[in-house]
Structure 1
Amino acid sequence: MDHQLDPCLRLQELGIEHHGEEEIAEKSSSWDNLVEEIKGIIGYEFRNPSLLRQAFTHYSYLDQDKTSTASYERLEYMGDAVLGFFMAKEHFAMYPDLAPGQLTKLRAANVDNEKLARVAMKYRLHTFLRHKKPLLGGQIKEFEEAIVEYPVHSSGLVDAPKTLADIVESLVGAVYVDSNSMDTTCKIIRNLLQPMITPSTLHTHPVTMLYEICHKNKVKLESRDLWKETGEIEFIVDDEFVGRAKYRAKRVVANNRAANEAYHKILRKLRLQTTRDDHH
């Protein structure tokens, strides 16, 4: 498989702009070369190019192009199932001593929206997407900036556009349908999803970490929900402010970021206290 070629360079050679998602959909040259472009990314050449076109067609585009009769949704459904099976099979073989609960968490992290959206961005798969979603370009740009701040899987600290994850699932589904081979599809998934999350790199959810450290140290934890008014969530421990985050787009992301800040502030305070105790 050719994983050395930079997808961004290939797109530039075609004259495709870095963030022009809707404009890209209109460039026939990119569609004429779609099979070759995807082959360069995943190392597989489609026998039925119409499957590939379907895999990159959002339902919002169907009204625009009367020649397209199907969106990626059915292929996404298939890809979701194949990805889940692949991860279960892979982890069952790789980690014979891992309990079912941990296997479930590991599988979920490797196929969640954030992980798959990161894959889509890594290979610029969104630049092939045909859609008529006016807000998607801005959401993708925001996500691209967020993953610079959070370079590894963050367990809820970034807002991953679901559409990015969808097209990874639909591409996997298209490969499976086209090849009619689970072995072929699994080889592609294994390469596409690198680096995979392992037990040692699996992060605990920030809210879970916060509650656990407060429970362990017998401190009172309170939250202040100002999200509807200001987009902010705050955490207070023993009447002392410890964490705040603002994210107007989604309450859950604001909550996770505030919890993450609070956890690390408590951790630093406990370490400082331990250091002082050691010196007395």
Structure 2
Amino acid sequence: MEEENETFLPLQHLRLEDENNDQDQEDGSSSPDIRNEEDELNDEHEEENSKISRVKEIHEITGYEFHDPNLLQQAFTHHSYKEGICPSFERLAFVGDAVLDLFFATDHYSLYPDLDPGKLTRLRAANVDTEKLARVALKHHLHTLLRHDMFLLAAQIEEFEKAVNEYPVHSSGLIDAPKVLADIVESLVGAIYIDSDSSMDTTCKIVKNLLEPIISPASLPTQPVTLLYEICQREKLTLKMRDTWKETGEIEFLIVKEEQEELAVVNNVGRAKYSGKKVIAKNRAALNAYSQIIQMLNHQS
């Protein structure tokens, strides 16, 4: 019968391991579990400071003081932020979207008794569309309170700011507004509604001030493409759109006339280039064309 070989560590080696462990404790080195606990405590401390600061800033903007700071924290947390720290704003934005629709529907119904449902719908839509709400977020610097990990957002907001300076009034399709800016306005409204025990009176007072200037029937913009086709129809001008957006990012509008059963270009009246979205390029080209036709008509008269 073969003897089993057993391996024994020398006593000196065991003593050396004990000494090393004691030395780690003296040096203040932490185990992974201790480090994780420290990270969690730091996150909790950062979270609490963030709540206090955000409550103060929103109170200054809206005049409303939150009873539940956690709701406000959630209203400014994007789903890209640290997982598990706080729920994201999607559910509150869902509520805020419904609250805004109801507010404008009832408010416009009372203010404009002569408007038919179609015009009331267009008026409400203009006051709650992405561009309008994104302008509100930018005006009140709400984007600076948003917690996120979106790498491209800063550049998108910078581009949006430039576009707002170029088109200071609601443009109805000339600006590519970051949707997340509109989302945080909706989530803030939703948070106020929930925090105020579902009080429409409280929420509506804040919404009226927050969303100023509110678009009225007099200031309701018409889409540039609609303006262009209306004036061409009225002046009996034949309009053609040249679409090279996929290749160049450009949309071009031309005035044409029939010559020997063919269309001949009379005037290139509008062009715009915007590679981000085709609809933006089309609207900008239409506005440019509309302006050129107005100048042309004024020159002829």
TM-score (norm 1): 0.85
Runs of 5+ in structure 1 lacking a partner? 1-25, 275-280
Query: Does residue 33 of structure 1 match 2:48?
Result: no
Query: Does residue 79 of structure 1 match 2:96?
Result: yes
1:58 corresponds, among 78, 101, 106, to 78
Q: CA deviation at 1:66?
A: 2.5
- Looking at structure 1, the residues matched to 272 and 161 of structure 2 have their Cα atoms a distance apart, in angstroms, of 19
Q: Which structure's relative contact order is higher, taking Cα pairs within 8 Å and 6+ residues apart?
A: 1
Equivalent AA in structure 1 for residue 289 of structure 2: A
Find the counterpart in structure 1 of residue 195 from structure 2. Answer: 178
2:106 corresponds, among 89, 108, 114, to 89
CA RMSD between the two structures: 1.3
Distance 1:104 1:29, change over 3 A: same
Equivalent AA in structure 1 for residue 233 of structure 2: H
- Looking at structure 2, the residues matched to 36 and 225 of structure 1 have their Cα atoms a distance apart, in angstroms, of 50
Q: CA deviation at 1:220?
A: 1.0
Find the counterpart in structure 1 of residue 121 from structure 2. Answer: 104
Find the counterpart in structure 1 of residue 248 from structure 2. Answer: 230
Find the counterpart in structure 2 of residue 134 from structure 1. Answer: 151
- Looking at structure 2, the residues matched to 201 and 47 of structure 1 have their Cα atoms a distance apart, in angstroms, of 37
Q: CA deviation at 1:29?
A: 4.8
Find the counterpart in structure 1 of residue 35 from structure 2. Answer: none
- Looking at structure 1, the residues matched to 48 and 278 of structure 2 have their Cα atoms a distance apart, in angstroms, of 40
Paired residues of 2:51 and 2:70 also in contact (CA < 8 A): no
Deviation per residue, 1:35-54 (Å, 9 max, x gap): 11101100101111111011
Find the counterpart in structure 2 of residue 207 from structure 1. Answer: 225
Q: CA deviation at 1:207?
A: 0.5
Deviation per residue, 1:119-154 (Å, 9 max, x gap): 000000000101111111100000011101111101
Please state whether the residue corresponding to 1:194 is helix, strand or coil: coil
Query: Does residue 158 of structure 1 match 2:175?
Result: yes
Instruction: State the number of aligned residues.
Output: 246
Please state whether the residue corresponding to 2:174 is helix, strand or coil: coil
- Looking at structure 2, the residues matched to 131 and 36 of structure 1 have their Cα atoms a distance apart, in angstroms, of 20
- Looking at structure 1, the residues matched to 192 and 223 of structure 2 have their Cα atoms a distance apart, in angstroms, of 32
- Looking at structure 2, the residues matched to 51 and 199 of structure 1 have their Cα atoms a distance apart, in angstroms, of 35
1:190 corresponds, among 208, 213, 216, to 208
- Looking at structure 1, the residues matched to 203 and 226 of structure 2 have their Cα atoms a distance apart, in angstroms, of 35
Query: Does residue 143 of structure 1 match 2:160?
Result: yes
Q: CA deviation at 1:27?
A: 9.0
Distance 1:35 1:193, change over 3 A: same
Distance 1:27 1:121, change over 3 A: farther
Q: CA deviation at 1:215?
A: 1.2
- Looking at structure 2, the residues matched to 58 and 67 of structure 1 have their Cα atoms a distance apart, in angstroms, of 11
Please state whether the residue corresponding to 1:59 is helix, strand or coil: coil
Identical aligned residues as a percent: 61
- Looking at structure 2, the residues matched to 67 and 98 of structure 1 have their Cα atoms a distance apart, in angstroms, of 47
Please state whether the residue corresponding to 1:213 is helix, strand or coil: helix
- Looking at structure 1, the residues matched to 114 and 84 of structure 2 have their Cα atoms a distance apart, in angstroms, of 53
Paired residues of 2:78 and 2:148 also in contact (CA < 8 A): yes
Query: Does residue 45 of structure 1 match 2:65?
Result: yes
Deviation per residue, 1:237-268 (Å, 9 max, x gap): 12221101011111111110000000111111
- Looking at structure 1, the residues matched to 130 and 274 of structure 2 have their Cα atoms a distance apart, in angstroms, of 18
- Looking at structure 2, the residues matched to 157 and 229 of structure 1 have their Cα atoms a distance apart, in angstroms, of 21
Query: Does residue 254 of structure 1 match 2:281?
Result: yes
Deviation per residue, 1:105-126 (Å, 9 max, x gap): 1111111111100000000000
Q: CA deviation at 1:102?
A: 1.1
- Looking at structure 2, the residues matched to 95 and 271 of structure 1 have their Cα atoms a distance apart, in angstroms, of 35
Deviation per residue, 1:212-236 (Å, 9 max, x gap): 1111111111111111111111111
Distance 1:40 1:84, change over 3 A: same
- Looking at structure 1, the residues matched to 85 and 227 of structure 2 have their Cα atoms a distance apart, in angstroms, of 51
- Looking at structure 2, the residues matched to 107 and 218 of structure 1 have their Cα atoms a distance apart, in angstroms, of 33
